[in-house]
Amino acid sequence: MTLELLFAALLVGVYFLLHATVFKLPTCKSAGKLHGKTAIVTGANTGIGKTTAMDLAKRGARVILACRDRQRAEAAVQEIIQETGNSEVIFMQLDLASLKSVRSFADNFLRSESRLDLLINNAGLLNDGKTEEGFGLIFGVNHLGHFLLTVLLLERLKASGPSRVVTVSSVTYKMGKVDFNCLTTHRDVALGNTMFHLNLKYSHSKLCNILFTHELAKRLQGTDVTCYSVHPGAIRTEIGRYWGFWWGLLVKPIMFLFFVDAELGAQTTLHCALEQGIEHLSGHYFSKCAPHMNIESKARDDAVAKKLWELSESFCGLS
């Protein structure tokens, strides 16, 4: 065997070793059933959200796919029904880039559904632009829309307890910060629209997700509702489907080689939604189906979390 072939074989071996160790993700071990329970999953027409909705439907839950794109969502509904045999899977229109749409969704849900046991704040994007109300699109969808949705549904969650809120964040929070001056002045977490700036905005929004969960847990003390934020892992999803050609050419091969599929990416979400005995960990950040106890201090800053909550209330017209 030539030296080149030996080197190639070594690279392949290292690649599969990494996938079996470093990149390997655990699976949710819960065998829990959800008959008689109702779950909302945002962004459930694709990727991690769709996989999450599929698993909850298999367990017998009534699952609401809260999505913007009607055609894609209705196709996902039919696929989930066919795969699970559970006909209690429905689509409800939700555009997180519109606070008006969030309010309309909440009104429709509260009128038509008697209970809410699981709220999975899964949807996320990495696109440039503004929301209907003029907020930065990444901040508006990834944090603010989910913030308002959760607040509007809290009383139903409390009435249905024990219930849970799971918000999908990301390890990229480590690169994030909350710039309140930028938020109040520009209604965005940062300025700039290059791919570098968009990735920074995404990281900032994921830090907001964790701080939101941290503060939500404090406000839920004494209730039968718990909440968790999660890092799903390095997952191949459609979050980058609107990337430019050159950026996609650079990143997509890396995703193909080193990222895992959506089924594995949904496991920590499912763990936090289903695992019994983690109620005392409400407000914590989970990764690989376990609480991440060494989270950076900026993600558990009480003062910043409280200020972000209050500013989000103001932005949503709740205060």
Annotated catalytic residues are 202
Contact between residue 29 and residue 51 where contact means Cβ atoms under 8 Å apart? no
**Burial group, residue 133, by CB count within 10 angstroms (0-12, 13-18, 19+):** middle
Rounded Cα gap, residues 131 and 12, in angstroms: 45
Rounded Cα gap, residues 79 and 54, in angstroms: 9
To which residue do tokens 């201090």 refer?
Answer: 297
Burial 219-243 (b: 16+ CB within 10 A, else e): ebeeeebbbbbbbbbbbbbebbeeb
3-state SS assignment for residue 66: strand
Structure tokens at 141: 């969808």
Rounded Cα gap, residues 55 and 294, in angstroms: 29
Half-sphere exposure of 226 (CA within 13 A, CB side): 16
Contact between residue 190 and residue 203 where contact means Cβ atoms under 8 Å apart? no
Rounded Cα gap, residues 55 and 69, in angstroms: 21
Query: End-to-end distance of the chain based on CA atoms, in angstroms?
Result: 72
Eight-state DSSP code of residue 289: T
